[in-house]
Amino acid sequence: MSEKFQYSNDIIRISKFAKALSHPVRVYIIKKLSGMNTCCYSCDIVKELKIAPSTVSQHLKELKYAGLIQGITEGPFIKYCINRVNWGKAGYLFREFFGELPVEEGDICDIKLAENNKDIE
Amino acid sequence: MSEKFQYSNDIIRISKFAKALSHPVRVYIIKKLSGMNTCCYSCDIVKELKIAPSTVSQHLKELKYAGLIQGITEGPFIKYCINRVNWGKAGYLFREFFGELPVEEGDICDIKLAENNKDIE
DNA sequence: TCGTTATTTCGCAAAATTACGAAATAATAT
DNA sequence: ATATTATTTCGTAATTTTGCGAAATAACGA
């Protein structure tokens, strides 16, 4: 009894994409690849971030698993690029998610800013 | 030697916000609070999601730590609301992040869709 | 064939996350 | 003062994440 709560597909998807983006290395990679006409190799990231190849491989695997990137083999290299379809879906989801709060001025929530209210530095 | 790579503030911030949103419970809470005029109490989440109060408290703490929500005490309750300042910053960051890929049609990356290219179900 | 280069997989250890029950705290009502 | 209600903190166990080195794999060139 008292069955488990079922999250909506959107909530599941947002949390999964967010998880994929929850590490600086992975945000770095996506930021790099989401620009114009940009692809990269694993070794590029190794050189740029100065971390072990196996670590980079692990992060790429997670991004691939999340569907955010894709790779094609090029001889001994694997060229990674954004998966535009899923990147677009993620963008849509997040834009909708963050867009839910109206931008207009005025009290949306009748709070007085409390002591535990801290801004991002 | 070979000093550690320094991530940009944006990358750090995005990964931190993403981490805060990397769990369905937390996305659920934020989705609830980011709507019009909506606040909630810890017990609301407990009832709705049917999880232990201590678990909810833990998730709220993380969202508070990330700066996404804030709470004010109301008798034995604590009323939680979105921290609009930081929510706005997060929205800006993510919109910029996802906006970096141009929407126009055509090949941005000269890839042929490979076998490891899977869409979101 | 034998190196070389790029990359992944494996195994492992350290750290972080998740979820829960029990106990503690805090505000209110009886 | 005692009970009630909402919430947090604490301790704990199970799981996941992270990072690395070593070994394995794969493509290419001499």
In a domain, A95, yes or no: yes
Distance separating alpha carbons of residues B83 and A97, to the nearest angstrom: 15
pTM of the full structure:
0.85
- Contact list in A for residue B14 (CB cut-off 8 A) is 21, 27
Residue B116 domain flag = no
From the number of C-beta atoms within 10 Å of its C-beta (0-12, 13-18, 19+), residue B4 rates as exposed
Nearest protein residue to nucleotide C10 (CA to C1' distance) is A54
Give CA–CA dist A73/B63, Å, rounded. Answer: 40
The answer to whether B101 and B108 have CB atoms below 8 angstroms apart is yes
C-beta separation of B10 from B16 below 8 A:
no
Q: What is the pLDDT of residue B76?
A: 80
**Dihedral sign, CA of B107, B90, B55, B25?**
negative
For B75-94, the pLDDT digits (tens) are 788 999 999 999 999 999 99
Q: How many residues does chain B have?
A: 121
Q: Is residue B82 part of a domain?
A: yes
What does the pLDDT read at residue B121?
25
Question: What is residue B78's DSSP assignment?
Answer: E
Provide the CATH number for the domain around residue B71.
1.10.10.10
Phi-psi region of B39 (alpha: psi -120 to 50; beta: other; left: phi over 0): beta
The reply to whether B1 falls in a domain is no
pLDDT band at A111 (very low <50, low <70, confident <90, very high): very low
For residue A62, the enclosing domain spans: 9-99
* Cβ burial, residue A53 (10 Å; 0-12/13-18/19+): exposed
Predicted pLDDT of residue A38: 86
* Positions of strand D less than 7 angstroms from a protein CB: 4-11, 17-23, 26-28
Residue A4 included in any domain: no
Q: Which of residues 24-83 of A touch B (CB under 8 A)?
A: 24, 26-28, 30-31, 34-39, 48-51, 64, 67, 70-72, 79, 81-83
User: What pLDDT score does B104 carry?
Assistant: 43
Residue B79 near residue B32 (C-beta atoms within 8 A): no
- When pLDDT is averaged across residues A26-35 and rounded to a whole number, the result is 95
Higher pLDDT, B88 or B74: B88
B100 to A21: CB separation less than 8 angstroms, yes or no: no
In a domain, B46, yes or no: yes
Helix (H) or strand (E) holding A26: helix A24-33
Return the higher-pLDDT residue of A117 and A37: A37
The total domain count for chain B is 1
Please say whether the beta carbons of A14 and A97 come within 8 A. Answer: yes
Would you say residue B62 lies in a domain?
A: yes
Of B18, B51, B81, the CB nearest to A22: B18
- Which three-class secondary structure state does DSSP give residue A3? coil
Mean pLDDT of the region A101-120? 37
Tell me what pLDDT residue A120 has.
Answer: 31
pLDDT digits (tens, 9 = 90+) for B6-60: 999 999 999 999 999 999 999 999 999 998 778 999 999 999 999 999 999 999 9
- Average pLDDT on A85-105 reads 80
Interface A-B, measured as beta-carbon pairs within 8 A, has a size of 176
pLDDT value, residue A2: 56
pLDDT at B103 over 70: no
The partner residue sitting opposite A64, judged by closest CB among B3, B64, B116, is: B116
Q: What is the pLDDT of residues A45-81, one digit of tens each?
A: 999 999 999 999 999 999 999 999 999 988 789 999 9
Tokens of B56: 């909810």
| Residue B90 lies inside a defined structural domain of this protein | yes
